[in-house]
Structure 1
Amino acid sequence: MLVRLPTSISEAQECLAEGAVPVGGATLVWATWQRDGFPELAMSLRHLPEATVVARGTLGSAVLLSRVDDTVPEVLRRAAGTIGTGAVRRAATVGGNIVGSTLRCLLPPALVLEARATVLEADRVHETDLAEVVAKRQLLLSISWDEPLVTGYRKLAADPGGEPPFVVAAAVHADADGHRRLRVAARDGYEVLSATVPCDAGGDEVLDALEGTDLGALDPTARATVRDQAKEVLDRLAD
């Protein structure tokens, strides 16, 4: 297998045009390749500046999970720090987790940040909805977001070998008029649910409004976890 390491967008597009298979840390596909055979040509974005950026409001898809630091909001940093083992985090990438993984541990944090996705194609680079990127398994170049007022993240314990642990992410945003909204996203098994409710009112009203969204259909334990995490974020906002 030949692995190309483009250093510019145009080089990366040439690789795609030649049929190169995008690969990050290969933590998810290595066993499959060993079983089914390796592709003739692969491409890694780890030398591409647009894909390796770690900055306020932007995170590249080729960034290793171990490099996700306090430059980004707490919700993203805490999620990245709980994925797999240290060895996995030193190899796995942001894009591989969001798009290539069935677990999508970083997707709930990205959703509550209202992140926008920049996608690389053979003939263009464009911004699109993150949900579309995941559904179509497009080649993610980076995600970007407007800084939230406050964020939070919680991951429950799970039995080894069982279903993925329940996770909930939350963030509060303010619009140009100063009105605030609470975004909450949860991974329940392999499904990710999200909801947005206004949070200019008191905390109890906001929490009750969450119960009327898709998150209100979760089982009692998960629903209580969502409520607790949302309350924690709202309390921190008030402080």
Structure 2
Amino acid sequence: MLLRLPTSVSEARRCVAEGAVPVGGATLVWATWQRDGFPEQAMSLREVAQANVVGRETLGAAVVLHRIDERVPEVLRRAAAGVGTGAVRRSATVGGNLVGSTLRCLLPAALVLRARARVLDAEGVHETGLSEVTAKGPVLLSLHWRTPVASAYRKLPGEAGGPPPLVVASALHADAGGSRRLHVAVREGYDVRDAATVCDGGPGPALDALRTTAAFGDLPAAAWEAVRDQTTDLLHGADGA
């Protein structure tokens, strides 16, 4: 297998056009390749500057998880810190987690941040939503968002050998008109669901509105309790800040 290391977006675009398979830290695909066979050529974005940025409102796809620090919102930082072991976080990348993983541990955090993605294909670079990233598996360059008022993240304990542990992520945003909007995402098993509501009236009305959404109407009681507790703490904390 030939591993190509482009140093610019234009060079990475050529690699894609020539059939190179994108790979991050290879923490997930290596075993599959050993079983099914290696591709003729793969491509890593670790030398592309646009894919390695870590900032207040941006995160590159080639950034390894242990580099995600206080420069990004709490919800994303804590999501990254909860992935695997220290050894995994020193190898696994943002792009590999969001595009190449069925767990997608960073997805709930990215959803509540209302993140947009910059992706690369043979035609060039374009911006898209997270639904396209998870459905089509494009070459992810970076994520971008607007800083929330506050955010929170919780990963509940899981059983060894059991389904992925429950994750609840939430963020409070100030909209242009002065209203506040609460966005909540839940990973239950391999399923991630999210919903948003205006929350100018405090936790009670916001929770009632969330509970009537298609995403959270049938959420199991234990998961809803975690949503309720986190949302209440987040909104009270934002009001007291």
TM class by shorter chain equals: over 0.9
SS in 2 for 1:88: helix
Aligned pairs for 1:221-232 (under 5 A) are: 221-232=222-233
Cα root mean square deviation, aligned? 0.8
SS in 2 for 1:216: coil
Aligned pairs for 1:12-161 (under 5 A) are: 12-161=12-161
Does the Cα contact within 8 Å between 2:21 and 2:42 map onto a contact in 1? yes
Does the Cα contact within 8 Å between 1:216 and 1:223 map onto a contact in 2? no
Normalising by structure 2, what TM-score? 0.98
Q: How many residues are matched?
A: 239
Q: Supply the distance in 2 between the matched residues of 1:216 and 1:170 (Cα, whole angstroms).
A: 17
Amino acid at match of 2:124: R
1:218 maps to 219
Q: Supply the distance in 1 between the matched residues of 2:64 and 2:202 (Cα, whole angstroms).
A: 39
SS in 1 for 2:42: strand
Normalising by structure 1, what TM-score? 0.98
Gaps of at least 5 residues in structure 2 are: none
1:238 maps to 239
Quote the offset at 1:6 in angstroms.
Answer: 0.5
Moved more, 208-217 or 35-44: 208-217
Aligned pairs for 1:5-16 (under 5 A) are: 5-16=5-16
Deviating 4+ runs (over 4 angstroms):
none
Does the Cα contact within 8 Å between 1:172 and 1:180 map onto a contact in 2? yes
Q: Supply the distance in 2 between the matched residues of 1:210 and 1:123 (Cα, whole angstroms).
A: 39
Quote the offset at 1:209 in angstroms.
Answer: 1.6
Does the Cα contact within 8 Å between 1:155 and 1:167 map onto a contact in 2? yes
- Cα shift readout 1:52-98 (whole Å, capped 9, x = no counterpart): 00011000001000001010000000000000000000000001111
Gaps of at least 5 residues in structure 1 are: none
Moved more, 103-112 or 210-219: 210-219
2:176 maps to 176
Amino acid at match of 2:224: R
- Cα shift readout 1:162-184 (whole Å, capped 9, x = no counterpart): 10000010000011121100000
- Cα shift readout 1:209-237 (whole Å, capped 9, x = no counterpart): 22112223111111100111111110111
Q: Supply the distance in 2 between the matched residues of 1:202 and 1:108 (Cα, whole angstroms).
A: 22
Does the Cα contact within 8 Å between 2:108 and 2:168 map onto a contact in 1? yes
Moved more, 203-212 or 67-76: 203-212
Does the Cα contact within 8 Å between 1:117 and 1:144 map onto a contact in 2? yes
